[in-house]
Chain A
Amino acid sequence: MSRVGDDLELDRFDRFLDEWSRRDFLKGMGGAMAASLFFAGGLEALLAACGPGNGGTNQNVKKGGHVTEATTSDPTIFHPIFISDTASLIPGNMLFLGLLEAGGDGNLKPALAKTVPTVASDQLTYKFDLRQDAYWSDGKQITSDDVVFTYDLMHGTKYDYKKINSRYYPDLEQYLDTVTAPDKFTVVMKTKTPYAPFLTGYAFGPLPKHVLEPVAINSPADFRKNDYLTAPTVVSGAFTFGKWDKTQQVVLNANSKYVRGRPNVDQYVIKNVGTDQAAVNQIKTGEVDIAGPPPSLWDDLATLSDKIDRVSFVASSYEYYGYNVDPNNPKRPVSGKIFGDPQTGKLVRQALYYAVDRQQLADKVYFKQAEPAYSVEYKTQWSLADKSQLPNYTHDTKKAADLLDQAGWKPGADGVRTKNGVRLSFELLTNQGNAARESTVQVLSEAWRQIGVEAKPKTVQFTEYVATSTTRDVDTYMGGIVSGGISDPDLSQIYHSRVIGKGLNRMGYSNPQVDQLLDEGVKVLDRSQRKKIYVQLQQILMDELPLAMLLWPKSLWAVSKRVQNFAVGPFNRYDRPWIKDVYVTDGK
């Protein structure tokens, strides 16, 4: 499972690349780097790729050879319970088999578990039946003991899990009650309360107990530093670990003991080429087979259609801007009262949203590699409401102006609207180093100027952006969220009032009805019931607009024609259940 699925790292990397490019470094690559954060993308191209090209199933499968995939940063650690960067997710998911995996359709699929468990009638218990034909690469059978061991590393009383320090232990403390193994091939997990995101977020594949238990017992604080986690000797995934030449490449070898059978290719190389431009150059030279080009180089690759397939699809990500909607925000009381006024705040928020031509933004700033977003959920999310169920904010400057009039904001002498002596003027914060975002805030500012609103764009370093917005020292701010695989539709970390100033609720948004729906949404386990709740949430949030969704960016991939069955898609960017079927036509 690609639980971590979060390419914020990659995102940041690209932003910074941009920044450098604007200083007199790598100027030639500036545009190229502008937007390779959009690794996500359009279903139509995915379908195209599923034709005769890379995604299709081909009967003339060749065995042997290798595939080289370009990345722009090094992995750090290989097991998913410790991974927090996207560069590690690709090798991590190839080396280790999950209990469940991301299906190409966005649903969980069985992996080490025989089936995707359904929750018991108590709404708390999940029973995993494990495959009995699964073996570690050293020949030992994979059993429920390994799974329980892995959870003990993160939670419970057996080991000093806080010292072992998995990324997820605080969450598991909160949600997980027990993990037990009634027999060799059955694992039972029990949550503390009914918790719908559990399977999507917290069903992790095992680590080998017979290799790692001594470390967990003897030196838990050194667990993460154990060589095993950067050079795993015993694995369960499609590939075994070959070597890692630091800042250069990770070489994986086909695992003949992989439960689904040995992969077609002998080796899979994940090559760190440093920059997007280098990745594009090297897919041209044939030094790499797979690369994620930035939107600005997308058209350039079209000329090589005899050698390279281009695959794009909208993945799980969005770009947004947020308002300070808290009239009691001590740091920004003025904007808090403008956007958070109980009577007129919503009208102002809607007016500004109407004034933005999001289609134009997608076309001009994002090189047509994005779609206007109409919901607070990802476009790929199963709970996404139908467009007709949600408020329609088609670009309409007149309506925007009317709404501001209605809210009592009248044009002032200098062209900026005023109300009770307050000018409709505020700061619009974003992070440096992302050309697309820096352009977007300018476009927003210009669009709002047309309706008598003064937005002053301000760009700061990414870390400062995070610090400033987290402490809510902002009027409005623009950012983005990216996810790698299947993610739960739960939006509590963004909109719940309990995470004001803690999670991503940097708007100071508080709506008891939304809180209640969010709480209910994670407790109801039936998907159709859940969808109703999330549709209602989308309706409220798209009406109230504490965050205004701008775009759903695309994920772009270039795949050499010699590589077949590379079925990358919105949910399978890092978690690739089909990787064993990939083959190279020349067998090299």
Chain B
Amino acid sequence: MPWAYLLRRVLVSIPVVIGVSAITFTLMHTTGGDYVPGVSDDPRLSHAAVEAIRHEYGLDQPWWVQYGVWLWNLLHLDFGRSMIDGIPLGVHIADRLPNTLELTLTAIVLAVVFAIPIGALSAIRRGTAIDHVFTVVSVGGYAVPEFWLGLLVILLFGVEPALHWGAPILPTSGAASAFGGGDVLDRFSHLILPASVLAFGYLSIWSRFSRSSMLEVLSQDYVRTARAKGMGERRVVYVHALRNAVMPLVTLVGLELPGLVSGGVIVEVVFGWPGIGRFLYERALAYDYTTVMGLTTFAAVLVVAGNLLADVVYALLDPRIRY
């Protein structure tokens, strides 16, 4: 029964989410979690002022009370409030999630669109020059850190053209221009560099994966049978082999679902992209621990949901799998 399976999976994931929140809370608490950003060590605030602010955030309560309150709020889908601005995390997430999804979905689509044909081609032309080229590029892409690649493209498309010709070829920061921005073209021009860098990282892994998966499938008996009964090579490859080769990739992409929200942290930071990842990064730097806890838990929920979704899609693609 798929519904019973779904329900079981959802129930099993509750302790996972609570566990993640407990670990995060413990980590944040043991490293000075009652610190209030911008307040705790301001020489001009009196002790009374600092205490009043700590009281407001409940930081004068014992840790188990703090955690209990937090968990109770979570049950009501309240991820808490930021310790820096007091704004509910839900509002912060809603403000930034669309930007992050714009970036990561574009990158994932780009990566998938290129990874599958590249992988398939490498597998079919195994050992040829084209296979070697793709191998070198993807291993290189895997080895190159995103921040480095990001800075490099910023230099190539932003700084150097600006210094030599007076203007950057593409914008290097933000999701839209401050003025008259926000239309599709403007957003697209801002999207090109970060989405390409992010996609390149995914592409490198997924194309290798799809190559090896394709190789494996091509050596299966049913492929040989298809060929033996005289089926055209194209049909063998694109209809029989490719569909089966793509399946493991579905799991991989599903696992990237939490990455949709936080996986682009580095790219978002380097390109000043106004998304969730960068927000998490900024608030971690500012010791806004309620925000970090809320976002971590939010990400945990997405990991669980991502795995679940991957399993479901898997079942849809593979008729052998039944729950």
Interface residue ranges, A against B (CB under 8 Å): 3, 6, 8-9, 12-13, 16-17, 24-29, 66, 68, 73-74, 76-77, 84-85, 162, 165, 167-171, 173-174, 201, 224-225, 230, 245-249, 251, 267, 269, 271-275, 277-278, 281-282, 284-287, 304, 461-467, 470, 481, 483, 487-488, 493-494, 499, 502-504
Interface string of B134-153 (1 = CB under 8 A from A): 00000000000101100100
| Closest residue of A by beta carbon distance from B46 | A171
- B42 in contact (CB, < 8 A): yes
The CB with the most chain A CB atoms within 10 A, among B38, B270, B271, is that of B38
Q: How far is the CB of A39 from chain B (nearest CB, A)?
A: 15
- B241 in contact (CB, < 8 A): no
Interface string of B159-186 (1 = CB under 8 A from A): 1001100111001111110110000000
Residues of B within 8 A of A171 (CB): 45-46, 48-49
B282 touches which one: A13, A277, A467 (CB < 8 A)? A13
Q: A8-B42, A272-B274, A463-B287 are in contact. List 18 more A-B contacts (CB 8 A).
A: A3-B44, A9-B37, A9-B38, A26-B147, A66-B178, A167-B49, A171-B49, A249-B178, A267-B178, A267-B179, A273-B173, A277-B151, A281-B159, A282-B172, A304-B163, A462-B32, A467-B34, A467-B35
Residues of A within 8 A of B39 (CB): 84, 167
B162 adjacent to A466 (CB under 8 Å): no
User: In terms of DSSP, what is the predominant structure of the interface of chain A?
Assistant: mixed
B147 adjacent to A77 (CB under 8 Å): no
Residues of A within 8 A of B179 (CB): 66, 251, 267
| Closest residue of B by beta carbon distance from A307 | B163
Q: How far is the CB of A477 from chain B (nearest CB, A)?
A: 12
- Please judge, given known A-B contacts A74-B282, A84-B37, A201-B44, whether A463 and B32 are in contact too, CB under 8 Å: yes
A274 touches which one: B82, B86, B269 (CB < 8 A)? B269
A503 adjacent to B174 (CB under 8 Å): no
A169 adjacent to B278 (CB under 8 Å): no
- B272 in contact (CB, < 8 A): yes
How far does the alpha carbon of A493 sit from the alpha carbon of B44 in the complex, in Å? Answer: 7
Interface string of B251-264 (1 = CB under 8 A from A): 00000000000000
- B121 in contact (CB, < 8 A): no
Q: How far is the CB of A302 from chain B (nearest CB, A)?
A: 14
Per the 8 Å Cβ criterion, residues 81-108 of B in contact with A are 82, 84-87, 92, 95-96, 99
Residues of B within 8 A of A225 (CB): 86-87
Residues of A within 8 A of B148 (CB): 27-28
Q: How far is the CB of A117 from chain B (nearest CB, A)?
A: 21
A170 adjacent to B49 (CB under 8 Å): yes
How far does the alpha carbon of A467 sit from the alpha carbon of B53 in the complex, in Å? Answer: 16
Per the 8 Å Cβ criterion, residues 21-65 of B in contact with A are 31-35, 37-49, 51-53, 56
A224 adjacent to B86 (CB under 8 Å): yes
- Contact size class for B? 35 or more
Residues of B within 8 A of A230 (CB): 85, 87
Residues of A within 8 A of B293 (CB): none
A278 adjacent to B272 (CB under 8 Å): yes
A286 adjacent to B41 (CB under 8 Å): no
- B286 in contact (CB, < 8 A): yes
B274 touches which one: A248, A277, A493 (CB < 8 A)? A248
Interface pairs A-B: 3 shortest CB-CB:
A463-B32, A76-B85, A247-B274
The CB with the most chain A CB atoms within 10 A, among B41, B95, B274, is that of B41
How far does the alpha carbon of A466 sit from the alpha carbon of B286 in the complex, in Å? Answer: 14
A16 adjacent to B284 (CB under 8 Å): yes
B84 touches which one: A85, A281, A286, A462 (CB < 8 A)? A85
A28 adjacent to B151 (CB under 8 Å): yes
What are 26 A-B interface contacts by the 8 Å CB criterion? A6-B44, A12-B287, A26-B266, A27-B147, A68-B178, A76-B82, A76-B87, A84-B37, A84-B38, A84-B84, A170-B46, A170-B48, A171-B48, A201-B44, A245-B174, A247-B96, A269-B178, A271-B173, A282-B172, A304-B163, A463-B32, A466-B35, A467-B34, A467-B35, A493-B46, A504-B43
